[in-house]
Amino acid sequence: MGEDCIHFEVLGLDKGHVPPDYDKIAYVASHCRNVTYVWVRLSPTATDWDTLIELLRKAPVDVKKITRFRKASLDLPIKTLERAAGL
C-alpha cells in the first residue's frame, strides 16, 4: 500500500463518540491497520493534549481513502494466509 490512513475516535467522559471540540473528552484512540493507540489527558492543563485536539480538528477527511484502507487492511491478512497455505 502506498499510503496509510489513520482512523481517530474521540470519546467523551459522559457519552460515547464526540466531536473534537467537545469540552469533556475522556480519550482519543487512533486505529491504523491492526494497531490501536490511545491518548488520555493526564492533567487538565496538559498543553500537548490541546495540540492533539487542534490537529484533529484540522485533519483532512478522505472517506474514499479510508474505505480503501480498511478493505486492504481486512483483506491482506486473509490473502497472506491463503498464499502461505497454498490456496
Query: 20-54, pLDDT tens digit by residue?
Result: 778 788 888 888 777 888 888 777 766 677 788 88
In a domain, 49, yes or no: yes
Decide if 52 contacts 28 (C-beta within 8 A): yes
pLDDT of residue 4: 66
Residue 7: pLDDT over 70: yes
**The total number of structural domains that make up the chain:** 1
pLDDT of residue 1: 45
Q: Which domain holds residue 21?
A: 7-85
In a domain, 38, yes or no: yes
In angstroms, the CA 35 to CA 66 distance is 15
Residue 3's pLDDT band (cuts 50, 70, 90):
low
In a domain, 2, yes or no: no
pTM of the predicted model as reported, rounded to 2 decimal places: 0.54
Query: 9-19, pLDDT tens digit by residue?
Result: 888 888 888 88
